């Protein structure tokens, strides 16, 4: 087909939404299905401008329910299909994502969190954590990357396609309005130059040969008749998911080795937490920071190890405890005291974290 969208490596300065579109192109995504919602719109804007040049497709659907289900259809056809959304759109996409979980449809969904509940703001929050990790009538059989920078948006959007197609669970890239709308510099690259091979896709429908003659037909369902049958199906799904967990779980630590106070934050808040650690360390205060990259599944064992030596944990998030609930579940039984710094729907700076930490000394 057309030449590669990005040859080698390229330093650029652009918005996060533009980054996502380029990353999907570089990841050889075939088709995007989407519906307008702020702050995600420019993913579509850039995709619709770039995609035709590289033989890729786009469909603007009637709503996010349709965007999610058409994405499932595209993936079932063996195409690298993706969509992007935010807030109320994320709610509507949960229905199709449960189908993806049940039927092992490797969808990729980029979420640029906006304020909640309801319409709230179009700006920023970390209030879509619970929904993105556990949305729908299911067991949260999905992988959620919480990115903190444009470089990560690029890296993890590419990775999302590969992880989805390798393990066949829906994968989410959890960004936010800040990452979506602000400009910053990053290095875009052709995945091949970094030794990243795109995982091959497989169609589940529309296979070659006459069904019933040359091969068995592909009969896919998500409905089961008995409790026993469903329990077995879900137990197997959970088992397969749990097998995948050690291979996908990712986290980062900053000066946690001797930290007495450990700041817990994810996504863009990690940048404020890292800045706070730097400032506080300069003042001789033993502070560290733990940051999950996969917010679901969660690096529970690694955080537990930190709990053994820390004197205090502080959970920091732009939501009212959605991330904290994940943390609490992960370290259930640990005795280290935990404090929280919540600003639902509002950004958090390094300075205010420093102030908060020092007040509590």
Partner 1 sequence: MAVVPNMPKSWRVETKPHKFCPGCGHGLVLKALGEAIDELEIQERVVFGCDIGCSLLSWDFFNCDSVQTHHGRTTPVVTGVKRARPDRICIAYMGDGGGYAIGAQHLVNSAARNERITAILVNNCNYGMTGGQMAPTTLPGMKTQTSPYGRDTETMGYPTQGPEMVAAIAREGAYVARGTVANVRRLKRYIKSALQNQIDGKGFSFVEALSGCPTNWSTNAQKTWEFIEKEMPQYFKVGEIKTPGKKEE
Among positions 34, 39, 74, 116, the unique one binding partner 1 when judged by CB under 8 A? 74
73 or 175: whose CB is closer to partner 1?
Answer: 73
Q: How far apart are alpha carbons 322 and 324 in whole angstroms?
A: 5
Burial annotation 297-320 (CB, 10 A radius, 16+ → b, else e): bbbbebbeebbeebebbbbbbbbe
99 binds partner 1, rule: CB under 8 A: yes
Among positions 3, 55, 62, 282, the unique one binding partner 1 when judged by CB under 8 A? 62
User: Between 217 and 236, how does the x/- string for binding to partner 1 read (CB under 8 A)?
Assistant: xxxxxxx-------------
User: For residue 276, what is the enclosing H or E element?
Assistant: helix 269-282
- Residue 288's beta-bridge partner residues? 262
345 binds partner 1, rule: CB under 8 A: no
- Residue 83's beta-bridge partner residues? 109
Output DSSP code: residue 197.
Answer: P
Distance of closest approach, residue 185 Cβ to partner 1, in angstroms: 34
182 binds partner 1, rule: CB under 8 A: no
147 binds partner 1, rule: CB under 8 A: no
Pick out residues in 17-56 that bind partner 1 (CB under 8 A).
30-31, 33
Burial annotation 117-145 (CB, 10 A radius, 16+ → b, else e): eeeebbbbbbbbbbbbbbbbebebbbbbb
Task: Select the span of 91-99, 247-255, 263-271, 287-295 touching partner 1 (CB under 8 A).
Answer: 91-99
81 or 171: whose CB is closer to partner 1?
Answer: 81
Distance of closest approach, residue 105 Cβ to partner 1, in angstroms: 10
2 or 223: whose CB is closer to partner 1?
Answer: 223
- Residue 172's beta-bridge partner residues? 109, 144
């Amino acid at each position: 087909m057309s030449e590669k969208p990005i040859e080698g490596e390229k330093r650029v300065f652009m918005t996060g939404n533009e980054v996502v579109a380029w990353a999907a192109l570089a990841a050889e995504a075939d088709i995007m299905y989407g519906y307008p919602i702020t702050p995600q719109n420019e993913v579509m804007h850039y995709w619709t401008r770039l995609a035709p040049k590289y033989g890729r497709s786009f469909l603007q659907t009637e709503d996010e329910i349709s965007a999610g289900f058409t994405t499932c259809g595209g993936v079932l056809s063996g195409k690298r299909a993706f969509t992007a959304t935010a807030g109320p759109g994320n709610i509507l996409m949960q229905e199709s994502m449960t189908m993806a979980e049940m039927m092992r449809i490797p969808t990729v969904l980029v979420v640029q969190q906006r304020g909640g509940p309801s319409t709230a703001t179009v700006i920023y929050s970390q209030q879509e954590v619970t929904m993105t990790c556990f949305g729908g009538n299911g067991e949260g059989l999905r992988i959620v990357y919480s990115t903190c920078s444009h470089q990560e948006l690029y890296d993890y959007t590419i990775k999302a396609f590969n992880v989805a197609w390798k393990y066949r669970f829906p994968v989410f890239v959890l960004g936010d309005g800040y990452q979506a709308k602000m400009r910053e510099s990053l290095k875009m690259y052709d995945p091949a130059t970094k030794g990243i091979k795109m995982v091959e896709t497989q169609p589940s429908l529309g296979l070659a040969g006459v069904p019933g003659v040359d091969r068995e037909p592909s009969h896919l369902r998500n409905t089961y008749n008995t409790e026993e049958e469903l329990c077995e199906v879900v137990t197997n799904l959970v088992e397969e998911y749990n097998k995948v967990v050690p291979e996908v779980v990712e986290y980062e630590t900053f000066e946690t080795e001797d930290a007495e106070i450990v700041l817990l934050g994810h996504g863009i808040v990690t940048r404020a937490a890292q800045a706070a650690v730097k400032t506080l360390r300069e003042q001789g205060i033993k502070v560290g920071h733990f940051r999950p990259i996969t917010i679901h599944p969660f690096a529970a064992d690694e955080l537990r190890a930190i709990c053994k030596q820390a004197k205090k944990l502080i959970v920091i998030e732009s939501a009212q405890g959605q991330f904290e609930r994940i943390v609490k579940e992960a370290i259930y039984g640990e005795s280290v005291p935990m404090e929280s710094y919540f600003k639902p729907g509002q950004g958090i700076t390094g300075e205010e974290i420093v102030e908060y930490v020092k007040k509590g000394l």
